[in-house]
Amino acid sequence: MCGLLGLLTARADAAGRTGSIAGALRCARHRGPDESGTWNDAEVVFGFNRLSVIDVEHSHQPLHWSPDHGPNPRYSIVFNGEIYNYLELRDELRQQYGVSFTTQGDTEAIVAAYHYWGPAAVGRLRGMFAFLIWDSHQRVLFGARDPFGIKPLFMAAGPAGVAFGSEKKSLLELAPSLGLGNPAADLDPAALHHYLLMQYVPEPATLHRSIRRVESGTYFTVRPGGEVEQERYFTPTFHSGAAGGSSALHSRIADVLSDSVAKHMRADVTVGAFLSGGIDSTAIAALAKQHNPNLITFTTGFEREGYSEVDVAAESAAAIGVRHVVRTVKPDEMMAALPLIVWYLDDPVADPALVPLWFIAREARQHVKVVLSGEGADELFGGYTIYREPLSLAPFEKVPGAVRGLLGRASTRLPEGMRGKDLLRRGALPLEQRYYGNARIFRDDQLAGVLRQYDPRRSHTDITAAHYRDSQGWDPVARMQHVDLFTWLRGDILVKADKMTMANSLELRVPFLDPEVFAVASGLPLSEKLAEGTTKYALRQALQGIVPPHVLHRRKLGFPVPIRLWLRDEMYVWARDIIRDSQADHLVDLAAVQRMLDAHREGPIDHSRRIWTLLVFLLWHGIFVEQRIRPEVPEPAYPVRL
């Protein structure tokens, strides 16, 4: 787990760019504090910050390799992530091609696999990854990103070359070297629109128009002076299997998840686990305990009643027999830390849960170097309560289209916050119009009141339409899952997981997001997702005897943060000052934002999520555009508590 940086020049002047790379690496030092290095030839500069997890004493990067291990290596690679089947890949390459390895790590397995299998090697990797390989014989740069988008990879292209990096802020530093000028002066209005709709910037965009993201499940090639050519190697596809319950199916889920956890435990350093009060993280921790009897688990919460799973998590930790560490977060801590957290994020993500995640990651890093977590289970197994919406809205499907339209128009005349208003509005819309992921922050009519450059032609369908086209004929829940894999999961869930843990030089692994687990989950019929009044039915059945009973059928709480209450009380003045000091009035109507804050304080309408989304953007703008806010970024230092 590390931070990579690569620059392919268009002018064969890479030697003169090493200073720029070294400076840009400083922006990503938190991703890999153990060692740092750069390398170049005439056309390529690589930089790397390493967090040593596997083959700690060797596998230094950039790593250079040839099949004959001669003095002039053909390939050079920088790689961020972990390949969990690297031992199996190394054995296969030895047996099939007689490959000899000089390290014990997974990085060498990637480059050897690429040499013998070409781009098809990417589909053989079971793990999380973003990597760049320079082939000095063919003079081509090859790179790829993992199937689900667990690890980030940003890209910027200009007249002087193209650069790739784990951190967008590193590419902002390199912009002059690429001939891009000042990217901060060229924000993407469509990306801002979608951020305010969804609370994150959907891939492949970023708020800086000149910097993009390499999409999940794709690989690419680029030659000096050429265009980046991308190809998708993985598209998640749901195909419903036979209806009805099956003990064999449930056993298969348990087996494949157990195998995934076993492989995710591979490390030469201590591995812990995050533990909430939910079934997903509890399952991962219980299975991890089988491989590490001294497992440490970590949880976070708040002192507000109803906004903490600390007690349930502690009960789970006791039931599975692990040492447990708790970190309680207070509102003054959140306010003080948020500017630094936004700096780590690169682009704004308005999920309040990422703040306590940053605190518990900082606590966990005092004890371990790697943690397992439960991200991805809801998207794969049908765990979100909103997936039940097609069932609750089924009566509307029987209503003629014209009547449904009348119901939708009638909903607009009902008072804001009135019970049933949103049900009527959503029931009047087809799935493709009403569902664009788990976060729905601003409706179009609300957005028009705060966004200066509001364009009614922009819509969430700009992001979701292609995914709905790809899922035609599937049941509605599978279509919602498909949309979430391309939007909510990789735009919010995985961004906050990566950014908040790597901010603390902590590697986070997600065993649910494994190709073998997905292969089983993708074939579940609807009856194995939603049944007996619950979600994730098949997973719950599979985890009987693994997860403690008090968690197995517990209602999903998520990870609520009490911003609704805090913005009316402890955080009001802080929020008012952010609005007052911002210089983003040309983008957002700051007076309207203040009115929204005051209306929220007075009640009864809850504007907290919309206010938080705007506050995070205003902080982001103050850091990356105005450069008025300059968080003090600490040097990575982790004394271990025994």
Q: Tell whether 272 is covered by a domain.
A: yes
Residue 526 DSSP one-character state: G
Q: Tell whether 453 is covered by a domain.
A: no
How many Å apart are CA 459 and CA 481, to the nearest integer?
20
Q: Tell whether 633 is covered by a domain.
A: no
Residues 508 and 372 in one domain: yes
Number of domains in the chain: 4
Residues 417 and 522 in one domain: no
- Cβ atoms of 322 and 364 within 8 Å: the answer is no
Q: Is 238 exposed, middle or buried (0-12, 13-18, 19+ CB in 10 A)?
A: buried
Helices and strands: H and E segment counts in the chain: 28, 17
CATH number of the domain within which 297 lies: 3.40.50.620
Residues of the chain with pLDDT under 70: 1, 241-245, 306, 398, 401, 403, 405, 407-408, 417, 420, 555-559, 638-642
Pairing outcome for strands 44-50 and 211-213:
unpaired
CATH number of the domain within which 221 lies: 3.60.20.10
- Domain end marker among 232, 265, 296: 232
How many Å apart are CA 597 and CA 592, to the nearest integer?
9
Q: Tell whether 376 is covered by a domain.
A: yes
Residues 45 and 183 in one domain: yes
- The amino acid at residue 61 is Q
In angstroms, the first-to-last Cα distance of the chain is 23
How many Å apart are CA 458 and CA 483, to the nearest integer?
18
Q: Tell whether 379 is covered by a domain.
A: yes
Residues 167 and 219 in one domain: yes
Residues 349 and 362 in one domain: yes
Joined together, the tokens standing for residue 321 give 């027999």
Dihedral pair phi/psi, residue 296, rounded to 5° = -110, 135
| Cα of 258 vs its chain's centroid, Å | 23
Query: In 402-512, where do the E strands start and end?
Result: 507-509
Sign of the C-alpha dihedral, residues 396, 400, 403, 409? positive
Residues 526 and 597 in one domain: no
Residues 289 and 314 in one domain: yes
Output the pLDDT for position 119.
Answer: 98
**What torsion, rounded to 10 degrees, do the Cα atoms 365, 370, 371, 375 define?**
120
Lay out the sheet containing 370-372: strands in order across: 323-328, 296-301, 271-274, 370-372, 507-509
> How many residues belong to the chain?
642
Residues 567 and 599 in one domain: yes
Q: Tell whether 637 is covered by a domain.
A: no
pTM of the model: 0.94
Q: CA separation (Å) from 492 to 212, 500, 558?
A: 16, 12, 14
Please give the residue range of the domain that contains residue 367: 247-383+487-552
- Which of 2, 78, 196, 364 is catalytic? The answer is 2
How many Å apart are CA 408 and CA 424, to the nearest integer?
6
Q: Tell whether 476 is covered by a domain.
A: no
How many Å apart are CA 46 and CA 79, to the nearest integer?
11
- Domain end marker among 552, 575, 601: 552
Q: In 3D, which of 36, 61, 31, 302 has the Cα closest to residue 152? A: 31
Q: Tell whether 37 is covered by a domain.
A: yes
Residue 181 DSSP one-character state: -
How many Å apart are CA 41 and CA 557, to the nearest integer?
53
Residues 491 and 511 in one domain: yes
* Annotation says 2 is catalytic: yes
How many Å apart are CA 286 and CA 479, to the nearest integer?
31
- Cβ atoms of 452 and 497 within 8 Å: the answer is no
Output the pLDDT for position 413.
Answer: 73
- Domain end marker among 530, 552, 574: 552
Whether residue 189 has a cis bond before it, omega within 30° of 0 = no
- The amino acid at residue 600 is H
Q: Is 628 exposed, middle or buried (0-12, 13-18, 19+ CB in 10 A)?
A: exposed
Residues 377 and 419 in one domain: no
Residues 113 and 224 in one domain: yes
Residues 322 and 259 in one domain: yes
Output the pLDDT for position 438.
Answer: 83
- Cβ atoms of 126 and 515 within 8 Å: the answer is yes
Sign of the C-alpha dihedral, residues 404, 410, 415, 418? negative
222: β partners: 141
Output the pLDDT for position 514.
Answer: 98
